[in-house]
Amino acid sequence: MDVHTNLAFETLFGEEVYDGLTHNPKRLSSKFFYDKKGDFLFQRIMAMPEYYLTNCELEIFEKHKSEITDWFVAGTDQFNLIELGAGDGKKTKILLRHLFERKAKFNYFPVDISENILEQLKASLQEELPRVSVNPIRGTYFEALKGLERYNGTPNVILFLGSNIGNLKHRQAIDFLRKLKENMNGNDLLFIGFDQKKNPRTVLNAYNDATGITEAFNKNILARINGELEGNFDLDKFLHWEVYDPETGTAKSFLVSKVAQSARIDKLDLEVHFKQWETIHTETSQKYDDNMVRWLTEEAELEIKAQFTDSNYWYKDYLLG
């Protein structure tokens, strides 16, 4: 695979699993959902009618692609398009195609933690948009930030779509935006999606679908521990549980132990004990309003230059600089 940077993950996974499962209360990071099976399940989530986020952002891109890409090409004859957490690139392809059609000169750098998804993305782009220059980077968002320095000299447009920022707690989101800002030059732009507060039922349904895809996605973290760290978690003994607080806008995913049980993780030489109904917090998916976005961006000394929303006002993409 033609990957620009290949960063070490295996030790990081083990270390974080050890820390998280010996912490009180127990926790595991949602960034570890994404192995081959996790990528596949997330693609299925994005195709579910309940998971409105994808369609909202697709609608925004279809409706506003001219105006959005006007911002990208303004005042420069060439730029780098760096996408953090690129995934399968379904939405980005709308912008890539439009940029190509308007003869913009740019290089596309998709960054993702999943090597598998980057391979798929590169292959599908070679097929659909063979003349767009694609340079995949495997890494976490934070690791990839260090790499941004490399592209100085040509303006950068950083994409952070899908409300991926919502998987960070506010403090982490501010730190992340600050680090981005520190790595941005004067005329670099950040184009970023923030899922908005809405009917709490709509949010809960998106993270608790009747078909059980989200449940399988949540439990995939235990499957990964079993496969990669020689664990023996019994997935059926855990319940997928979603909560949403409409006041704070915070959705949280848990795995709840249905019984008192122990699991062994051989590679970590760790025995994990669960009381009945004990939880593992696996994911935060924050929903925002304008005040929260203003607060986060001000904390990071970023300026809101433009914003785009869908016809229901469920989701917003902001252009920051």
- Report d(CA 317, CA 68) in Å as an integer: 10
Chain residue whose CB lies nearest ligand AVI: 285
Contact 91, 98 (CB under 8 A): no
In the window 170-209, what residues touch ligand AVI (CB under 6 A)? Answer: 207
Binding piece for ligand AVI, criterion CB under 6 A, among 17-25, 62-70, 111-119, 159-167: 159-167
- Report d(CA 155, CA 73) in Å as an integer: 10
* Helices marked H in the chain: 10-22, 36-46, 52-73, 92-101, 115-128, 141-148, 170-182, 200-206, 213-229, 290-299
Interaction between residue 167 and ligand AVI (CB under 6 A): yes
Q: Which of 164, 205, 257, 282 binds ligand AVI (CB under 6 A)?
A: 164
Residue 213: other Cβ atoms inside 10 A: 18
- Report d(CA 60, CA 74) in Å as an integer: 20
User: Nearest distance from residue 220's CB to ligand AVI, in Å?
Assistant: 11
Nearer to ligand AVI, 93 or 98 (CB): 93
User: Nearest distance from residue 270's CB to ligand AVI, in Å?
Assistant: 26
Q: Which of 29, 54, 80, 163 binds ligand AVI (CB under 6 A)?
A: 163
In the window 226-285, what residues touch ligand AVI (CB under 6 A)? Answer: 283, 285
Which neighbouring-strand residues pair with 316? 194, 309
Interface residues toward ligand AVI, by CB under 6 A = 45, 53, 162-164, 166-167, 207, 214, 217, 283, 285
